[in-house]
Structure 1
Amino acid sequence: METSRTTSKEMELWNLFRNGDKTAYAYFIHTYSNSLFNYGYRIYTDHDFVKDCVQEVFIELWNRRNSINGTNSIKWYLFKSVRLRIFREAPKWNKNLPLEEDYQFAVEFNIEHQLIVDLETQELSSRIKSVLNRLPGRQREIMYLRFYENLNFDEISTIMQISKQSVHNLLQKAYHNFRKDWSYLLAIYFLPIQQ
């Protein structure tokens, strides 16, 4: 599986940005703004609030550019920054709706492009999506970061501020919850492929 490790081109741009290059800075805003917003909106579903958080992360990034260290994964660094800002600012934004540890991570797992071939697989796809979307928020967030954003366990651990073992445990629970109801359906679906 592909990881989010930074390419040598991005590392060069990161170093240019840290030295005050506005073009390199604009590259990171252009490249990551949408995915940061999409991730943040899954944690806290207030469009304006999340947009402000992403903008503030980039403003702070520019203001602190001289003191920012190098990183192996710019994507990881930015996701972590947005998540931290959302959890820090959400209680101030809406005092009636504090962000708790058992937050709902709003993600619609869309797997049709992989499974829908005919009506039979449409039904299977619908059932699988239903199971995935019923997972607890933290399990959905880990599945999203792992399989949609291709982040590794260390990066997820740092973003979510939990141990690597907790990432592993939550991912295993998500797999278990999924397999508990649907392993026989997947076995039936994939059997013809293995013949």
Structure 2
Amino acid sequence: MKASFEADYESVELWKLLITGDRSAFKTLYDQYVQVLYNYGRRYTKDDALIEDAIHDVFCHLWKSHKALSVPVSVRFYLYACVRRVLHKKLRQVEIMLNNRLSAENHFESGGQATIEEQLVLQEEQLQIKSKLRVLWRQLSDNQRKAMYLKFVRKKTAAEISEEMGLGREAVYKMIQRAVKEMRGGVLSFFTFWL
């Protein structure tokens, strides 16, 4: 109990420094909570990239608005609430997108009466999605593409990617998070266009 109180007190002190714009305090808070928040995010989804993206969004928002922050009673529970809110928002976006796609596909599959025109429209949409993904992929840097390939195709850990690419583990995390965010943003904007 005493250790928990001391950790909370230390976090509150770091938070106060963050409000003043102290980058070192911000980094320490990030390092202190990133794994805790990741584990917390796993309660809501098993999508590692989505969790990492949510954590990244929370910390980016904290840094951008650090001057307007107030000191929470518990930094940990404040960060939990932030990550939960961002995850729910992202999961709703994905759910809406998938539900719209599935309802359209189920409409065609259930009736078995999809016209040739409807089939052509679906095929065209699939081609456009693949084309959009290729464009988004090409927009990533060489290092981002390599890191994404190693993480999602070769299923390597951040430590293994870090070693193979000769980069720090934190740099690998940030690179993958940025790449996923760019891809996800491009895909979501593409689907928003079609909704």
Compute the TM-score of the two structures, normalised by the length of structure 2. 0.46
Larger radius of gyration: 2
TM-score after normalising by structure 1: 0.46
Higher helix share: 2
